[in-house]
Amino acid sequence: MSEEAFYESVHAYFDRAALYSKFDAGILQQVKDCNAIYRMKFPVREDDGSIRVVEAFRAEHSYHRLPTKGGIRFSRMVSLNETIALASLMTYKCALVGVPFGGAKGGVKISPSQESEGFRERVTRRYTAELIRKNFIGPDIDVPAPDYGTGEKEMGWIVDTYKNIRMNEPNIYACVTGKPLAMQGIPGRTQATGQGVYFGLRSCLERPEVAKKLGLSPGLAGKRVILQGLGKVGYYAAKHLQQDGGAVIVGVSEQEGGIHNPEGLDIPALFAHRQETGSVLDYPGAENVDRAALLEYSCDILIPAALENQITAENAPRIQAKVIAEAANGPVDQAGDAILCQRGCLVIPDLFLNAGGVTVSYFEWLKNRAGVSFDRMISRHEEIANRNMVAAMETLTGQTLSVSHRDSLIHGPDELRLVVSALEQTMIRAYDRIHEVWLQRDLPDLRTAAFLLSIERVAESYSHHGIFP
Ligand code: GLU
């Protein structure tokens, strides 16, 4: 039921934005529809030797650019329509942040936390073999990545399976992103989506006109934040908001319950507490509260960073946050969105705000194709140039810098710094463009602006395509 609501919501958001587009209805239909879907069922051996049939999907939403790109979700809740809706969001996301890929998404219907590592590995390898069999994976075809319920480990199994079957192909490591570093991954990918959420939120809230409309001071410092989901995305978003933005995380909601402390929670310490005890509950100094009710507590920014359909017509009227930052995909459904917008709440949409993950995936894919890391060819050169510049400055001014000051000026970039700065630049630019479209075309909200911008970029490229007979 809820995956239908999600599918309907994404279509409704598309349709609402498409009303503002000048493109031909046929082109818009092509932008909206999912280009190809592979639904599979395959047998996997259980730990006790018996066989389980697993259902899985891969949806390739748009071929206006190749390869297609998008994560693989492991969850008991995945369905065909959820996978299609998520794949379409990938298309719009990539178009928005200038990642030259079409959108795709995969779903495997298992509950990863209840399965052994051995079972998850057998499922992942078999799923990869199924994708290879139907040409639904490859460096120039379709490139998966992590999503809810998957991570580096699964991506490592995928590349290993691919490599052993397609031994003679070029660029094999570019068949999947989000890989472990030891398998040609890229530093910064794990935290990319969450860090991108931080850069995106900062870009939006530092605009004085946005802050003024919301009755807030510009910027993130001192803003009270409630977070839903302390997974990879939520954790890194909150950590950067706290450490780099000076925001105060007053509540965290997880499956086992919520905790609240108006004085603020220390996110890395809370994460360690959850690792140790298996729960966010009973964190020192915080009050245990109902996990759903916590979303309705007083705060400036609410960050849903878990799953879709968390804010609906049911709870939207009671949400007190002034800003909803969609770190997850589809956390606000269309009825919830309408209520929030009507109440003057600013929703920063998923297709922009969580695009940091696929942005850094793109860097990983480029690195794999180049066969060299980004810093290798420039790091020493930059360091020598900086050293000469510092020496010239010291000669000219007659002053000598302290060792630590000099060190901070001369070092050449490492790969992580390059990745993070390129991610930051991508999110700043994307926000600027959405903001401009929002104001110039007098659109009702940021989501409509983001959708319209993406739709028109994809439509533009389709309008140059030949239509094959
Ligand atoms: N699963 C992530 C998303 O929803 C990342 C996709 C990717 O890196 O390809 O954006």
pLDDT tens per residue across span 285-318: 999 999 999 999 999 999 999 988 999 999 999 9
Query: Over the range 371-386, which residues count as b (16 or more CB within 10 Å of their CB) and which as e?
Result: eeebbeeebeeeeeee
- CB of 358 shorter than 6 A to ligand 1: yes
- What one-letter code names the amino acid at 129? A
- What pLDDT, on the 0 to 100 scale, is given for residue 469? 54
Ligand 1 near 70 CB (within 6 A): yes
302 contacts 223 by C-beta, under 8 angstroms: no
Q: What's the CA-to-centroid distance between 140 and ligand 1, angstroms?
A: 17
Residue to mutate, 147, 159, 362, ligand 1, most ligand atoms under 8 Å from C-beta:
147
The reported pLDDT for the residue numbered 336 is 96
Instruction: Evaluate if residue 3 carries a pLDDT over 80.
Output: no
106 lines ligand 1 (CB under 6 A): no
Asked if pLDDT for residue 217 goes beyond 60, the answer is: yes
Nearest atom in ligand 1 to 361's CA: 8
Task: Indicate which residue of 32, 69, 105, 239 is catalytic.
Answer: 105
Query: Which pLDDT score is estimated for 280?
Result: 97
Backbone angles phi, psi at 269, to 5 degrees: -70, -40
Q: Tell whether ligand 1 has an atom less than 6 A from the beta carbon of residue 357.
A: yes
pLDDT digits (tens, 9 = 90+) for 327-386: 999 999 999 999 999 999 999 999 999 999 999 999 999 999 999 999 999 989 999 999
Angstrom distance (rounded) from CA 254 to CA 286: 14
Q: How far is Cα 257 from Cα 287, in angstroms, rounded to an integer?
A: 11
pLDDT, average across residues 166-181: 96
Mean pLDDT across the stretch 255-278?
97
Which residue from 60, 66, 90 has its CB within 8 A of the most atoms of ligand 1, so it is best to mutate?
90
Q: Would you give the DSSP letter of residue 332?
A: B
Which CATH code is given to the segment(s) 36-183? 3.40.50.10860
Domain ranges in the chain? 36-183, 192-353
Q: What is the mean pLDDT of residues 166-170?
A: 94
Task: Identify the helix (H) or strand (E) that includes residue 70.
Answer: strand 68-74
Instruction: Please determine, for residue 17, whether its predicted confidence score (pLDDT) is greater than 70.
Output: yes
CA of 269 to the centre of ligand 1 (A): 27
Confidence check: pLDDT of 448 > 70: yes
State what percent of residues in the chain have pLDDT above 90.
Answer: 95
For 410-426, what is the mean pLDDT? 95
- 36-183 shares its CATH topology with 192-353: yes
The whole-number average pLDDT for the span 37-65 is 98
Share of the chain above pLDDT 70, in %: 99
Give the per-residue pLDDT at 468. Answer: 60
Exposure b/e, 291-325, CB count within 10 A at least 16 = b = beebbbbebbbbbbbbbbbbbbeeebeebebbbbb
By C-alpha distance, which of 36, 116, 43 is closest to 70? 36
Active-site annotation holds for 105: yes
Taking residues 10-30, what's their average pLDDT?
96
**What average pLDDT score do residues 200-224 get?**
97
H helix runs in 329-445, sequence order: 334-342, 350-353, 356-370, 379-397, 403-410, 415-440
Q: State which ligand 1 atom lies nearest to the alpha carbon of 177.
A: 8
pLDDT at residue 408, as a whole number = 87
Mean pLDDT of the chain: 96
Question: By the 8 A CB rule, do 348 and 325 touch?
Answer: yes
3-class DSSP assignment, residue 271: helix
Over residues 430-448, mean pLDDT: 97
Tell me if 241 sits within 8 A of 247, measured CB to CB. yes
Q: Identify whether the C-beta of residue 104 lies closer than 8 Å to the C-beta of residue 72.
A: no
Q: What is the model's pLDDT at position 5? A: 85
Q: What is the 285 CA–ligand 1 centroid distance (Å)?
A: 35
R_g of the chain computed on alpha carbons? 23
C-beta 145 within 6 A of ligand 1: yes
- According to DSSP, the β-strands at 248-254 and 257-260 are antiparallel
76-85, 242-251, 404-413: which has the minimum mean pLDDT?
404-413
Give CA–CA dist 126/107, Å, rounded: 13
| Mean pLDDT value of segment 55-80 | 97
What is the greatest pairwise CA distance in the chain? Answer: 78
Residue 80 alpha carbon to ligand 1 centre in Å: 18
> Please, which pLDDT band fits residue 2 given cuts at 50, 70 and 90?
low
Whether 212 shows a pLDDT value over 60: the answer reads: yes
Is the C-beta atom of 232 inside 6 A of ligand 1? no
Question: Is the beta carbon of 71 within 6 A of some atom in ligand 1?
Answer: yes
Residue nearest atom 9 of ligand 1, based on CA coordinates: 70
Give dist(CA 361, CA 376) in Å, integer: 19
Q: What is the CATH architecture of 192-353?
A: 3-Layer(aba) Sandwich (3.40)
- Tell me, in angstroms, the distance from the centre of ligand 1 to residue 152's CA: 13
pTM of the model: 0.96
Q: Would the CB of 9 count as within 6 Å of ligand 1?
A: no
Q: Which long-range contacts (CB under 8 A, 24 or more apart) does 28-32 make?
A: 28/455, 28/459, 30/462, 31/62, 31/64, 31/91, 31/455, 31/458, 31/459, 31/462, 32/88
Average pLDDT (87-99) is 98
Buried b (16+ CB within 10 A) or exposed e, 220-242: beebbbbbbbbbbbbbbbbbbbb
Alpha helices in 39-134 (DSSP H): 80-96, 117-133
In angstroms, the CA 324 to CA 318 distance is 13
Helices 356-370 and 415-440, packing angle to 10 deg: 130
